[in-house]
Amino acid sequence: MGADKNTFDAIVIGSGMTGGWAAKEFCEKGLKTLVIERGRNIEHLKDYPTATKDIWEFPHRNQLPLKIKEDNPVVSKCYAFREDTLQFFVKDKEHPYVQEKPFDWIRAYQVGGKSLLWGRGTQRYSKFDFEGPARDGFGIDWPIRYEDLAPWYSHVEKFIGVCGNRDGLETLPDGEFLPPWELNVVEKSIQSRIMSSYKDRYMINARCAHLTEPKEIHLQQGRGKCMARNLCQRGCPYGGYFSAVSSTLPWAAKTGNLTMRPDSVVHSIIYDSKKGKATGVRVIDAHNKEVTDYFAKVIFLNAAALNSNLILLNSTSDRFPEGLGNDNGLLGKYIVFQNYRGSLSSDIDGFKDKYYSGRRPASTLIPNFRNVYKQETDFLRGYMSFLSARREGWGHDVEGDQIGGNYKNNISEPGDWKVGMTISGEVIPKITNHVRLDKDKKDEWGMPLLTVSVDYDDNDEKLLKDFFEQSAQMLEKAGCKNIKTRDSKQAPGLDIHEMGGVRMGKDPKTSLLNKWNQVHSCQNVFVTDGSCMTSSGTSSPSLTFMAFTARAANHAIEELKKGNL
């Protein structure tokens, strides 16, 4: 087999949230680009089998049969794993991994990856997030600051479509916003009461990747307005939310520069010690197991955080016996995630003459207010909170008849208003939270299984306790009653915000990647998915991964032009 047809300008490993962005940037700039995806192909619209089904068309009305739950104890915990979305999730037995400590690894192996299934939250990280580790003395300093990423946030937001209100907050910088989802009448009341009770706490409209009012660039992608169905994880027939499948990948394909290779498991990145750089990627066909090498000048690793760690750890050579770029032995270490354990429920009186229409696919936000300007609590960092108010729907508890016509009528009407909150807490990086290759166990493609050893610590417990106290206080000030807290005690992983292991930093002794996401010791390999994260922050992270990817891809193009790669 000739090397020519296997040679490209750029190879992108992974076709999800960030792989799609790398592909788009490269293809637009004329680079012949190969995107390698381990899962099956998914085409926008064509491969959304449940997208327009009504609830009664599902045999179990969107509940999961017991057999599926028993066969999938991990993925069944995911809120989005339902009868209408089964087809987009990895089933537990298909891709085993080793849990040294409980870790719910939620995966989606297909073209588009988890971008089909994500929660669509798109908040920027603030300057406090990038300055935090150095200021408060944990982890290592980020090699960049907010200003470095700001133009790339804008670049990504304009293309994917992000809605939100311009709130002018330092703690959650504004972006390029489409009109926001409005707060409902109860949320507006809570907003005004919280914001008049606290000088430093804000409750704002959701910021999320929905086309509330598409612009020309979105129409050019073939996407349309979000119809407020809130059935996103089925794949959207309108392209109303951003996914790689509806947006970046077809955009890249239109240039004629994109080659997609789905059903291809990446074995390793090939390193040439004479050239002192990577030359390509070794791929195992997912079906016939045939091994093929592909070559390119630049390689982007976007396999999702933990799998990018796995691929680098498995990319061994005489030069890198412990994995590509792993001179300091820190590859796979300092895994971070976000603390999603806490929630509150409460009642609020009144507003019985008010309701809402449409299904808003997002909650309101309370940006972090803890340890913002200085360290002031007995735990490090803070948390963002999501808050929403809704009326109880059909089937709620009613007074009076419990059987019959009156009962039917009463439970057919909306009930009282309920107010809920959930946490997104920062988790501090530490060396003990790590992934590594299992020494013995291999999967059916001969790849070592990944051992995951990640846990909460005392800081997470204190932060959660503070979230409960402060949130209960805010709900009380907002007029809520019967406030209850709940610690789900869920394992790390179920937040689906795992990050790190290949962290960026200034110093090759303590980090794997430089400020352009290049592997310090192998500069034509860029790692731009969540594995690059130096600290977790409190914002939903995908937007930041995409901004890093676009920034790094354009840097790679510049460097290629200069002959530096």
Asked whether the beta carbons of 305 and 485 are under 8 A apart, the reply is no
* Total residues interacting with other proteins, rule: CB under 8 A: 51
CB of 184 to other proteins, least distance (A): 3
Nearest to 84 by CA among 112, 120, 122, 116: 116
Site string for other proteins, 235-274 (x = CB under 8 A): ----------------------------------------
Cα–Cα distance between 211 and 218 in angstroms, integer? 8
Q: Which residue number, 63 or 192, has a Cβ lying nearer to other proteins?
A: 63
- List the one residue from 2, 4, 66, 399 that touches other proteins (CB under 8 A): 66
Stretch that binds other proteins, among 61-69, 320-328, 366-374, 522-530 (CB under 8 A): 61-69
| Cα angle 166, 171, 174; round to 5 | 25
Cα–Cα distance between 13 and 265 in angstroms, integer? 9
- List the one residue from 2, 4, 59, 321 that touches other proteins (CB under 8 A): 59
- List the one residue from 32, 45, 83, 441 that touches other proteins (CB under 8 A): 83
Asked whether the beta carbons of 202 and 167 are under 8 A apart, the reply is yes
Q: Does 329 bind other proteins (CB under 8 A)?
A: no
Q: Does 2 bind other proteins (CB under 8 A)?
A: no
3-state secondary structure of 554: helix
CB of 218 to other proteins, least distance (A): 17
Token readout for 478 is 């907002």
Q: Which residue number, 64 or 472, has a Cβ lying nearer to other proteins?
A: 64
Stretch that binds other proteins, among 55-63, 300-308, 461-469, 548-556 (CB under 8 A): 55-63
Q: Which residue number, 256 or 404, has a Cβ lying nearer to other proteins?
A: 404
Q: Which residue number, 77 or 229, has a Cβ lying nearer to other proteins?
A: 229
Half-sphere exposure in the Cβ direction for 270 (13 Å, CA): 16
Q: Does 407 bind other proteins (CB under 8 A)?
A: yes
Residue 335's contacts (CB-CB under 8 Å, 6 or more residues apart) are 305, 306, 309, 429, 433, 434, 435, 452, 454, 498, 499, 500, 501
- List the one residue from 393, 431, 488, 507 that touches other proteins (CB under 8 A): 393
Q: Which residue number, 67 or 93, has a Cβ lying nearer to other proteins?
A: 67
How deeply is 237 buried, as exposed, middle or buried, from its count of CB atoms within 10 A (0-12, 13-18, 19+)?
A: middle
- List the one residue from 51, 98, 411, 472 that touches other proteins (CB under 8 A): 411
- List the one residue from 413, 444, 469, 507 that touches other proteins (CB under 8 A): 413
Q: Which residue number, 226 or 504, has a Cβ lying nearer to other proteins?
A: 226
Q: Which residue number, 168 or 404, has a Cβ lying nearer to other proteins?
A: 404
- List the one residue from 228, 372, 398, 472 that touches other proteins (CB under 8 A): 228
- List the one residue from 46, 145, 166, 408 that touches other proteins (CB under 8 A): 408
Nearest to 136 by CA among 459, 375, 406, 403: 375
How deeply is 445 buried, as exposed, middle or buried, from its count of CB atoms within 10 A (0-12, 13-18, 19+)?
A: middle
Q: Which residue number, 158 or 188, has a Cβ lying nearer to other proteins?
A: 188
Asked whether the beta carbons of 189 and 219 are under 8 A apart, the reply is no
Q: Does 404 bind other proteins (CB under 8 A)?
A: yes
Q: Does 400 bind other proteins (CB under 8 A)?
A: no
Q: Does 183 bind other proteins (CB under 8 A)?
A: yes
3-state secondary structure of 497: coil
Q: Does 184 bind other proteins (CB under 8 A)?
A: yes
Q: Which residue number, 4 or 353, has a Cβ lying nearer to other proteins?
A: 353
Cα–Cα distance between 527 and 437 in angstroms, integer? 19
Q: Does 90 bind other proteins (CB under 8 A)?
A: no
Q: Does 508 bind other proteins (CB under 8 A)?
A: no
Site string for other proteins, 346-375 (x = CB under 8 A): ------xxxxxxxxx---------------
Q: Which residue number, 50 or 257, has a Cβ lying nearer to other proteins?
A: 50
Asked whether the beta carbons of 121 and 181 are under 8 A apart, the reply is no
Cα–Cα distance between 295 and 6 in angstroms, integer? 6
Q: Which residue number, 85 or 536, has a Cβ lying nearer to other proteins?
A: 85
Q: Does 414 bind other proteins (CB under 8 A)?
A: yes
Asked whether the beta carbons of 483 and 472 are under 8 A apart, the reply is yes
Nearest to 282 by CA among 444, 435, 447, 437: 447
Cα–Cα distance between 480 and 460 in angstroms, integer? 26
Q: Which residue number, 183 or 522, has a Cβ lying nearer to other proteins?
A: 183
Task: Tell me whether strands 383-391 and 417-426 are parallel, antiparallel or unpaired.
Answer: antiparallel
Nearest to 526 by CA among 500, 545, 553, 550: 553
DSSP 241: B
Q: Which residue number, 67 or 439, has a Cβ lying nearer to other proteins?
A: 67
Q: How far apart are the first and last CA of the chain?
A: 26
DSSP 327: S
- List the one residue from 40, 61, 145, 215 that touches other proteins (CB under 8 A): 61
Q: Which residue number, 57 or 200, has a Cβ lying nearer to other proteins?
A: 57
- List the one residue from 1, 2, 67, 318 that touches other proteins (CB under 8 A): 67
CB of 182 to other proteins, least distance (A): 5
- List the one residue from 45, 51, 64, 195 that touches other proteins (CB under 8 A): 64
Stretch that binds other proteins, among 49-57, 278-286, 375-383, 430-438 (CB under 8 A): 49-57
Q: Does 227 bind other proteins (CB under 8 A)?
A: yes
**How crowded is residue 197: how many other Cβ atoms within 10 Å of its Cβ?**
13
Token readout for 125 is 């990280």
Nearest to 156 by CA among 502, 463, 515, 554: 554
CB of 243 to other proteins, least distance (A): 19
Token readout for 334 is 């300092």
Cα–Cα distance between 20 and 248 in angstroms, integer? 5
Contacts with other proteins, residue ranges (CB under 8 A)? 54-56, 59-68, 83, 86, 181-185, 187-188, 225, 227-229, 352-360, 391, 393-395, 401-405, 407-409, 411-414
